Amino acid sequence: MSVLKIKDVSKIFPNGNVRAVDSFSLEVADGELVCLLGPSGSGKSTLLRMVGGFERPTSGEMTIDGEDITHVPPEKRPTGMVFQSHALWTHMNVFKNLAFGLKLRKVAPDEIKRRVEAVLDLVGLAGYGTRHVAQLSGGQQQRVALARSLVLEPKILLLDEPFASLDQHLRERLREEVRDIQQRLKITTLFVTHGQDEALSMADRIVVMRDGKTEQIDRPDVVYREPQTPFVAGFIGTMNLIEGNVANGIFSKAGYSTPLPVSDGPAILAVRPEALDLAVASEGSQGKVHRVTDYGTHGLVDLELNDATRVKAMVSHPDLFRAGQGVTLAPRAIAAYRDGVVIHRA
């Protein structure tokens, strides 16, 4: 049972008085994998480093299984961190990298050997103990970095963009492997990434962060389908965000209008490209096709509304559309935002 609780944690860096994390609260349940997702500078890495003990929170409290760890130094925390750059010790071979933490804990040599071999087997590197880390590929190095954390059996596993330095193919393979290992060991995990694919495919829950604050905490499917703020809507996946006005229950923008049962005033209409149907129209068109891209399995049509606002629509038959054609838009699912919060979803 390893539960991580973060309560009202803030971090203000003295240089420039930057508030990197602002009153952040989160509870990560036992065995859960939570992804901190956000753009650069959103405070996700700072938050992870605070959980790891490498940054001191300016205020707030952090507990693991009820034990306050807010001011505990990293070497005494029951956490294990995997760094973006692997951070392997190049003067040691793979075995020594993994055994170092166990030796510091005065584990018996036989037990060290057993545990190191077991964890190397777990990450698919059985027999690699005598290899020098410089002889390993990037993916193997990242597995060693993961094994180095896992061998100590931490209560909380912290992953700081562990796949950022790997190529796309390897990244996809490794994230599946890491997820498998995490589920097999049922280890509570906090994972930082700025890759939404990683977050959506791995996480039990996603925390979308912006300017050190939480924008939304939800299951990946909910974050994707029901973004709570225009920022989340724009950040996760591709989303058309059309700024317009609502009058008498009709949203309108540059010749395009659609019913929107909310009070009058400005609003942002959010429509996913896959939820926007197009029809070629010789008269009464609401937009004009700018470009058609055929991806084989589907097509993506770039449209321009009358005021040059760009909108994307996913179509199953891209060959039906040509640049310059007039089209009408028919959204199947919409959300509307005002003052940064959702006001309508249909």
Partner 1 sequence: MTAIDAGQPVLAAPERRRPIGLLLVAVPVLLVIWLIIWPIISAVIQTVWVKTPEGGNSFSVETYRFFFSDGYSLSNLSITLWTTGVCAILLLVVCLPIALYLRFSDSKVAAYVQGLAIFPMFVPSIILSFAFIRVLGPNGTVDLVFNAVGLPKIRSPYLTPWGPVIGLVWDNIPLTVLILLSGLGNVSNQAIEAARDVGAGKLALLWHIILPRISNSVLVAISFAVLGIFSAFTLPYVLGPAAPEMMGPFMQRTFRELFEPQTAITQAVITFGFCIVFGLFYVRSVARNQAP
Instruction: Count how many Cα atoms sit within 13 Å of the Cα of residue 185 in the half-sphere of its side chain.
Output: 25
**CB neighbour burial string for 93-118, b if at least 16 within 10 angstroms, e if fewer:** bbbbbbbbbbeeeebeeeebeebbbe
Sheet with 326-331, edge to edge strand ranges: 276-280, 326-331, 287-294, 299-305, 310-315
Minimum distance between the CB of residue 131 and partner 1, rounded to whole angstroms? 11
Handedness of CA 58, 79, 187, 203 (dihedral sign): positive
Q: How far is the CB of 52 from partner 1 (least distance, A)?
A: 6
Alpha helices in the chain (DSSP H): 44-52, 94-104, 109-122, 138-150, 168-185, 196-202, 220-225, 230-235
**Is the Cβ of residue 87 or residue 330 nearer to partner 1 in the bound state?**
87
Given its phi and psi angles, is residue 212 left (phi above 0), alpha (psi -120 to 50 degrees) or beta?
Answer: left
Provide the minimum distance between the beta carbon of 265 and partner 1 in the complex, in angstroms, as a whole number. Answer: 49
Minimum gap (Å) between residue 145 Cβ and partner 1? 8
Q: Could you say which DSSP state residue 188 is in? A: E
Q: Which is nearer to partner 1, 185 or 343 (CB)?
A: 185
Q: Which is nearer to partner 1, 46 or 216 (CB)?
A: 46
Nearer to partner 1, 74 or 237 (CB): 74
- Positive or negative, the CA dihedral 18, 23, 24, 27 is positive
CB of 329 to partner 1, least distance (A): 49
Q: In this structure, how many other beta carbons lie within 10 angstroms of the beta carbon of residue 120?
A: 21
Smallest separation, CB 183 to partner 1 (Å): 23
- DSSP-derived secondary structure letter, 106: T
Sheet holding 240-247, edge to edge: 256-259, 250-253, 240-247, 265-271, 335-338, 341-345
Q: Choose between 80 and 220: whose C-beta lies nearer to partner 1.
A: 80
**C-beta closer to partner 1: residue 103 or 322:** 103
Give which of 224, 215, 227 is closest to 335, Cα–Cα. 227
- Nearest distance in Å: CB 113, partner 1: 17
| Interaction site with partner 1 (CB under 8 A) | 52-54, 73-76, 79-81, 83-85, 87-91, 100-101, 104-105, 132, 134-135, 145, 148-149, 152
Cβ atoms within 10 Å of 24's Cβ, excluding its own: 25
CB nearer to partner 1: pick between 156 and 246: 156
Residue placing its CB nearer to partner 1 in the complex, 157 or 199: 157
Least distance from partner 1 to the Cβ atom of residue 64, Å: 14
Question: Residue 51 is which amino acid?
Answer: V
